[in-house]
Structure 1
Amino acid sequence: MSLIVRIWIALIGVIAATLGVLSILSILQHDAILSQLIRQRLAVTVEATARPFRSVVDLGLPVSMMRNKLALLERARASDAAISDVVLFNPTGTVVEQSGSGKVERVAQEVIDVQAKDVAGRWGFETDRNLISGTSILGEDGVVVGGILAVYPKSELDARSASVAQQIVVGAIGLFVLFTGIAYLMVRARVDAVGGGLRRLEGTLAAFGGTSTETLAAAGRHKGRVLPEQITLALAKLQEQLDDATEKYRQALQALGSEEVDASAHASTGPRETVLVGVPERAATRSFARRLTPAIAVLTLGSALALGYLVYLSISDSFRPEIARRTQLIGSIATADIQRSVEAGVPVDGLVGAAEYFSHLLTDFPEISYFAVLTDRPVIEVGQAQVSGGADRTVFPILVDGVRIGELVTETNLDYIAAQFRDVVLDLGVVVLVILLFAFELMVVMMSRSVTGPLDRLQHLAELQAAGDFSKRLVATGRNVVERLGNLLSERAERLNVLAAAAVRRSAAGVDRSHAVAPEPGFRLSGCRPALMRFCSLTDVRLPLFLFAMADELPLSFFSLYARAQANPFTSLGVGVVIGLPLAAYLGAALLGAPLARPFGQRIGYRRLFIAAALATFFAKLGLYLAGNIVEVIVCHGVNGLAFALASLACQDYALDMLPKEARSRSISLFRATLFSGVFAATALGGILADRLGQRPVFAVCAILSVVSALLIWRMLPVGGSTPNAEQSSEAEDKLSFNILAPMRSPIFAAVALGSVIPLAIVDHVFISYLLALQMDALGASISEIARVMMFFFLALILGGYAEGRLPAKLAAPTPLLTACSIIAGLSLLIAGLFPSTWSTAAASIGAGFALGLAGGPQTALVMDAAEGPLAHLGTSAVLGTIRVIERGGAITGLLVIGSMTDTAGYSGAVGTIGMTALAGAGLFVILRLAGSEAAISGRSG
């Protein structure tokens, strides 16, 4: 299989995954929004039906005293032929009256639960078969005295969903065919740009086809040919190494004797040693990556955007009739009310209270911007008519004895319609962004497996043999010229080791065969079978880490709401504290698991450790899916925190231990970027899934993702082998200290820990992970809106970290920068607490994220200054371990304290308190830094 075809197949996989996942998520998103729109239309009918019952309640009578209650319910049911039932029930759930044929004595318990949680009086939900929309009837004291609900079968929703799904799938298939064809042309053009280098490798392989001295001499003469201009420097370097390896092989043959030997017959039958080799990216692989990455980005982004546009058109066509039906229904209800008054003898000009009635309609139903009652002139006008036109105007006749005496005019609210489609575009944008992040990680893996990995392995083996080391070989593959060259070099190593073994057998008895046999100085042979090299890279863990981070963080946008809804046996504790207990358990378990990750990884292997942690996450997420009370949620979330710490640190330690020292810094940067990308994608996607599937099924999705990540680790990480070439971290030899107060003797450490780390940890873990969802839910935001705000937090966090590394020296000084970070975070949260709204909360999230991103670098710099300076006697691991304990301990303490405040100060007050804590931390940090500086000056003066 040619290299072009392999790259093309890899791209086909990326495009197929991009279009497939985007199609599924788009269909789910369409169904979620359409379900909401239908329930909102039902709410129009339910709200109109509830008005007469509220009038009876205002007189101090129960809802059952309404004489014509059945007629009112029947009229509501007749307003839409698809409505199967309209039910009036009392606060205990007992049915007072219903219009449907199937009589029941009580409504489902789910109705009572949903009604009890809704403070606005309007509520709705979806079951397997029906859409339910209801409204509560409240007494003068605000207590629920009854409710009305409408039942709407999901057949219409399912039919529209099937139609939209068909359009999306057909569009996805067409785009897949189109973009795979474009991909082949683009790959061929990009690879042909270095085609001379590949043809040179093909020529080298042809020259290597024999093993005689004449063939080897021909290969040696091939070295002197002039390289064509189009061959990149990277491939030219690889060619030189292959030629040098050939020269060394010829010299070894001459030294050992070039007689024909059957390698398979004389090779040792004992077990072959396996060695793990970590290699950084080579010039050749970077050359291919630079040439192919733009094409891959264009194909992935282009296919995603093209399908996104088709999805938007399909969803728009599906939504517009529904919105039109809603406005038509509102106008029909208003016209019917006016018609009854006119038929009762009230003249159109004398409709008392009509303006107030229409004003209430405009407030209750924002999809209408204008009501007017007209005869030969405007009698009543409420709202603002569109001057420039463009709004859909609907006219409803007002009749008396069949004679038209006037008309009711309505206009749709264009801003409301635009807002509905803006939400669609935002959600689709989020989905496309998530898909692109996933596609990027998938692309990295597939390119590594198809192109960069084989090139790296070939170049490493060529370097070894060019230096005279024939003691190792590659795994046999042979699917393209690069891999066939690797096979040929491996066969050379096998042949030379067989010849060396034969030479040993001919030598005097007593020779120790366990030592390397060298035909002359500068050569290295194993003396038996060449060791099999298994290559390690960060690519081995990138995609599993990305998916595992998604599995961990998908519920973040609604987890506090999920915990609040659980049965609470801790009746003596405040609700705010109980909601925070699962997160406290998560943080505490992660803190305990962090020091165990490295010892366990070195003992059982990072591969087994990750798989064990992923399976623990599977059972934890499954437990959260099945949880029936807050105790089960606390236990399962604690296991989840322990598993996440072990799995993420297993991936990090794998990168540290398996890769060369010079590649560590870049690998850790890529590791963090991958981790944050997974968290970012999960936060954005989790809210959309929860809005469509419900909260519990999201935990099932998390469980599936954790198993998928475990399977990828099992497939991609090497098994066994001797210690890799990477040097072990010296920090592994440090002993952890459990004396938390010992590092506090350093003024630098104390200032950072107390003035920056703890306050910003409270901002991160308490405001973002705990309070943000509760605050926005109280402001009326949906889960998908909460998810978008959290997404902006992580985006600001990433941008803040990026900006921190590019600040000029004057602005990057750790002390003023950390002070500024705490002030930015504190002011953002304080403003959100004083002026609570969706926009202020979103701004606080962005400000906090940017501040936390900026603070990461200076915090680490100051802690490391303390660890390498006044705290050097404790060891770096002890200092870093202490700061982690302080960070998590401060977050847990802050979580419990702030949680207890929410019951009295409310969510806005708690947000403001966190802001003041960050500002106080900034002041404390400055004071301690100044005190430390003065103490240092006094010490030097003394």
Structure 2
Amino acid sequence: MTHHSPFRRASLYAFGAIALVLGTAIVACTAIAYGAFERELRPEAMRKAETVGRGIDALVAKTVRWQVPLAKLPGLDALFEGIQKDHPEISWVAIKSEGKIIVSRGDASVAKNSDNMVQLPLITADEPATLEIGVDPAWVARIFREMLLDMAVILVVALVISLELALYLAGGGVLRSLAVLAHSVRSAGAGNFAIVRTARADGEVHAMLASLARAVDTLQQRCLTIGAAKLAEAGTKFHWPTQPVPSVGRVNTSNILGAMRAPFFLSLFADDLQRSFLPLFAGTMSTGPFDVSVNLVVGLPITIFMLVVALSQPVLGSWTERIGRRRAFLAGAALGMISHLLCAQATTLVELLVFRGAAGLGWAVTFVAAQGYVIDNTDRETRTRGLAVFVGIIMTASICGPSIGGILADGLGPRWTFVIGGVLGLFATLLAWRDLPDARQAAKLVAPPRMRDYAAALANPRFAILLAFAAIPAKVILIGYVFYLLPLFVADAGYSAAMSGRIIMLYSVMMVLLIPVTTELLERIQQSRGVRPQAAFVAGGLALSGLAGLLMLLPLGMAGAVALTVLLGIAQAFSIAPQSSMVGDVSAAHKHLVSESTIYGVYRLVERLGNAAGPLIAAFLLQVSGFETAFASIGLAVLICSAMFYVSFRGSMRAAAP
């Protein structure tokens, strides 16, 4: 039976209290800010409109010396168009003379409400005239909505980061030491007094353990004075427990996972900051002598990053094991930090691609090293819990990164956002240097798989079908939609990178909420009906992903983008775990030819190659057909793959569950 931490319930209560207090504070700040916006924003917009009007008045006054009639003054249409482009809050600009409109641009209905109008007299060469500038009331309301959405994002991210910080501080300090003390006392109660002498902790708990050790020494001396006869007599009335108590100390499974959590989260968070604006940032880069289409340019940084991750991971497992997980993690975190800082300085596409490739290598190293910490420090009973912590860190970073990155890119610019990512990478490196233990495993090092191992795995036709019709399409549609087409679509619709980040966050939220539900539902069906429904879940998830893309053919605008992201998150949540489970099922008959670790290595490699292909496919479709057709084409292809996958594995669902 798995023993939970003696402070587990207290920890949950503490985290709940932190979430409640922090949430209340942010909601209160939002309400105060909203009231301040409502009082100040509209008058500020009117003052800005008046300033623009005085600039127009000065330009018109210069024409008086040439005696040009106002009606024949050239360039007013272009001037008004430029004003509305530079000042989106101005929806109406007009010059009137004797009640008649001489020249105008924008929505005339705004002029009906005098509260939103600024009127200035103009000095002209002929009859008197009046300049009217109207502030769009919908613009003010839109700014309010943007503020509320940003505050909602900040609330979610602040809660997540606060809980991560609490886990780090408590797990690395108070709770860890108290857990060591509780385990020592429980071990002594079970008759294993040696644990008290070998357990290590920090601060006051260390002093308490020393006192406890002295008490054990005193008890031992008293037992010796009683004599063997008395001890034998007591033994007939008192039975010492014989069940062994596992060792405890500063370096054990829970401590190592807790120490790994914060630096790994910061490394992922630093890289996820750029997901909402990287395509747009790449589009501003100079391509030099290379004549490359813009749609391909904006997708290349994502492709290079994913390709480096895919090609490096097969050899990184044995490499990190050979040099030590700690040294590997430090190298990956430091490389990621430097890469983010260099991306902030990039001026050409080639530079950006090189730096993003280096960032991909750093990401892959930290990922494999962190995963290695989990594998090295868990056994068969604790492996699932350890991997759940690992996946939870990844999903937490994917919720926080894109949304906050979009807000930072809008406020500070993409380059400063990269700098902030570099600072987070620095903190990750420092925390890893401070907390991660350098405990290498004594187990025999596993050699990286060779080409013939990959060939043997791919020779299994059912495994090849799983890769071709499920693994690759799932990753192509994910990266092609969420991280390539979606930011470009949002920008093309006139919205900011912050809006793109909010929408991308919805995908991760759906994944976090629904993956546990899907796993439980899958197990219940398997147990109650005696079937293995994994293939149906995978096919259903692929079909829903494809339908989400076809949804973009409808004239829904941004609502369609939101619906697509939510549906894709639901679809991937329903298919990702069953798909991984099917890898072992379809390869069970070939385990005598190739090891299970190699099979899963091939599976991850092909998945990540699908990640790299996603932006290229989406860029080609966008170049030849536009957004709606690109979304729909990928969706239709994935829908066809889901049907072919279902037909290929329909018979496997009737197999009895073991």
What residue number does 1:288 align with?
Answer: 10
Amino acid at match of 1:678: A
CA contact 1:477–1:487 (8 Å) conserved in 2: no
The one of 545, 552, 560 aligned to 1:840: 560
CA contact 1:398–1:406 (8 Å) conserved in 2: yes
Counterpart-to-counterpart distance in 2, 1:550 and 1:572: 34
What residue number does 2:496 align with?
Answer: 782
Counterpart-to-counterpart distance in 2, 1:478 and 1:791: 40
CA contact 1:734–1:877 (8 Å) conserved in 2: no
CA contact 1:738–1:882 (8 Å) conserved in 2: no
What residue number does 2:471 align with?
Answer: 757
**1:301 and 2:23 equivalent?**
yes
Cα distance, 1:362 vs. partner? 11
What residue number does 1:325 align with?
Answer: 47
Counterpart-to-counterpart distance in 2, 1:756 and 1:702: 33
Counterpart-to-counterpart distance in 2, 1:392 and 1:598: 64
1:722-776 superposed Cα distances (whole Å, 9 cap, x missing partner): 87xxxx8x99799677544544555543332111111111012233233333333
CA contact 2:336–2:422 (8 Å) conserved in 1: yes
The one of 396, 421, 435 aligned to 1:702: 421
What residue number does 2:226 align with?
Answer: none
What residue number does 2:551 align with?
Answer: 831
**Secondary structure of the residue that 1:752 maps to in structure 2?**
helix
What residue number does 2:116 align with?
Answer: 392
What residue number does 1:888 align with?
Answer: 608
Taking the TM superposition and a 5 Å limit, the aligned residue runs for 1:799-878 are 799-807=513-521, 813-832=533-552, 837-869=557-589, 871=591, 873-878=593-598
1:163-207 superposed Cα distances (whole Å, 9 cap, x missing partner): xxxxxxxxxxxxxxxxxxxxxxxxxxxxxxxxxxxxxxxxxxxxx
**1:564 and 2:283 equivalent?**
yes
Amino acid at match of 1:789: I
Cα distance, 1:908 vs. partner? 4.5
Q: Quick check: which one's helix share is greater?
A: 2
The one of 156, 160, 179 aligned to 1:456: 179
1:8-40 superposed Cα distances (whole Å, 9 cap, x missing partner): xxxxxxxxxxxxxxxxxxxxxxxxxxxxxxxxx
Taking the TM superposition and a 5 Å limit, the aligned residue runs for 1:109-120 are none
Amino acid at match of 1:458: L
Counterpart-to-counterpart distance in 1, 2:538 and 2:11: 38
Counterpart-to-counterpart distance in 2, 1:682 and 1:869: 41
Count the aligned residue pairs: 625
Amino acid at match of 2:48: R
CA contact 1:391–1:412 (8 Å) conserved in 2: no
CA contact 2:518–2:573 (8 Å) conserved in 1: yes
Instruction: Name which of structure 1's ranges 372-381 and 592-601 shifts more when overlaid on structure 2.
Output: 372-381
Counterpart-to-counterpart distance in 1, 2:540 and 2:26: 39
Cα distance, 1:442 vs. partner? 0.4
Counterpart-to-counterpart distance in 1, 2:292 and 2:440: 53
Cα distance, 1:778 vs. partner? 3.3
**Secondary structure of the residue that 1:859 maps to in structure 2?**
helix
Taking the TM superposition and a 5 Å limit, the aligned residue runs for 1:54-93 are none
Amino acid at match of 2:157: V
TM-score normalised by the chain length of structure 2: 0.80
Counterpart-to-counterpart distance in 1, 2:2 and 2:351: 45
1:204-233 superposed Cα distances (whole Å, 9 cap, x missing partner): xxxxxxxxxxxxxxxxxxxxxxxxxxxxxx
Name the structure, 1 or 2, with higher relative contact order (CA <8 Å, separation 6+). 2
Cα distance, 1:561 vs. partner? 2.5
Cα distance, 1:369 vs. partner? 5.7
The one of 169, 179, 196 aligned to 1:446: 169
Cα distance, 1:890 vs. partner? 3.1
Amino acid at match of 1:854: F
Counterpart-to-counterpart distance in 1, 2:249 and 2:482: 48
What residue number does 1:657 align with?
Answer: 376
Cα distance, 1:792 vs. partner? 2.3
Instruction: Name which of structure 1's ranges 576-585 and 639-648 shifts more when overlaid on structure 2.
Output: 576-585
**Secondary structure of the residue that 1:557 maps to in structure 2?**
coil
Cα distance, 1:283 vs. partner? 5.0
What residue number does 1:114 align with?
Answer: none
Counterpart-to-counterpart distance in 1, 2:591 and 2:201: 52
Gaps of 5+ in 1: 1-278, 501-519, 937-942
Counterpart-to-counterpart distance in 2, 1:531 and 1:351: 89
Counterpart-to-counterpart distance in 1, 2:132 and 2:512: 51
Distance change in 2, residues 1:297/1:779 (3 Å): closer
**Secondary structure of the residue that 1:555 maps to in structure 2?**
coil
Distance change in 2, residues 1:693/1:894 (3 Å): closer
Cα distance, 1:590 vs. partner? 1.5
Counterpart-to-counterpart distance in 1, 2:220 and 2:438: 25
Amino acid at match of 1:464: S
Cα distance, 1:682 vs. partner? 1.1
Distance change in 2, residues 1:680/1:562 (3 Å): same
1:388-433 superposed Cα distances (whole Å, 9 cap, x missing partner): x794344445789999x88666653221111122222222332332
Distance change in 2, residues 1:326/1:433 (3 Å): same
Counterpart-to-counterpart distance in 2, 1:295 and 1:582: 42
**1:468 and 2:191 equivalent?**
yes
The one of 395, 399, 402 aligned to 1:683: 402
Cα distance, 1:440 vs. partner? 1.0
1:314-369 superposed Cα distances (whole Å, 9 cap, x missing partner): 56666444312233345557788999999999999x9999x999997997665356
1:15-69 superposed Cα distances (whole Å, 9 cap, x missing partner): xxxxxxxxxxxxxxxxxxxxxxxxxxxxxxxxxxxxxxxxxxxxxxxxxxxxxxx
Cα distance, 1:610 vs. partner? 1.0
How much is the aligned-residue C-alpha RMSD, in angstroms?
4.6
Distance change in 2, residues 1:284/1:370 (3 Å): same
**Secondary structure of the residue that 2:285 maps to in structure 1?**
coil
What residue number does 1:61 align with?
Answer: none
1:814-858 superposed Cα distances (whole Å, 9 cap, x missing partner): 233322222222222233267584443333233223222222122
What residue number does 1:629 align with?
Answer: 348
Larger radius of gyration: 1
Distance change in 2, residues 1:698/1:544 (3 Å): same
Counterpart-to-counterpart distance in 2, 1:803 and 1:321: 50
Cα distance, 1:708 vs. partner? 0.6
Cα distance, 1:927 vs. partner? 3.1
Cα distance, 1:467 vs. partner? 3.1
What residue number does 2:227 align with?
Answer: none
Amino acid at match of 2:10: F
1:898-942 superposed Cα distances (whole Å, 9 cap, x missing partner): 4344443345543333222212211221232258889x9xxxxxx
CA contact 1:747–1:932 (8 Å) conserved in 2: no
Amino acid at match of 1:624: C
Amino acid at match of 1:865: D
Counterpart-to-counterpart distance in 1, 2:262 and 2:278: 25
Counterpart-to-counterpart distance in 2, 1:699 and 1:280: 43
Amino acid at match of 1:867: S
The one of 197, 202, 208 aligned to 1:485: 208
Distance change in 2, residues 1:303/1:864 (3 Å): same
Counterpart-to-counterpart distance in 2, 1:401 and 1:561: 47
Counterpart-to-counterpart distance in 1, 2:605 and 2:345: 32
What residue number does 1:918 align with?
Answer: 638
CA contact 1:614–1:710 (8 Å) conserved in 2: yes
TM-score normalised by the chain length of structure 1: 0.58
What residue number does 2:229 align with?
Answer: none
CA contact 1:430–1:684 (8 Å) conserved in 2: yes
Amino acid at match of 2:604: R
**1:793 and 2:488 equivalent?**
no
Distance change in 2, residues 1:455/1:362 (3 Å): same
**Secondary structure of the residue that 1:780 maps to in structure 2?**
coil
Amino acid at match of 1:856: I
Counterpart-to-counterpart distance in 1, 2:79 and 2:413: 36
Instruction: Name which of structure 1's ranges 802-811 and 574-583 shifts more when overlaid on structure 2.
Output: 802-811
CA contact 1:799–1:850 (8 Å) conserved in 2: no
Amino acid at match of 1:638: G
Distance change in 2, residues 1:737/1:450 (3 Å): same
1:570-627 superposed Cα distances (whole Å, 9 cap, x missing partner): 7265454444443333222212332344433433332222111111212222332333
Counterpart-to-counterpart distance in 1, 2:132 and 2:12: 62
Taking the TM superposition and a 5 Å limit, the aligned residue runs for 1:391-410 are 391-396=115-120
Cα distance, 1:452 vs. partner? 2.3
Counterpart-to-counterpart distance in 2, 1:745 and 1:451: 53
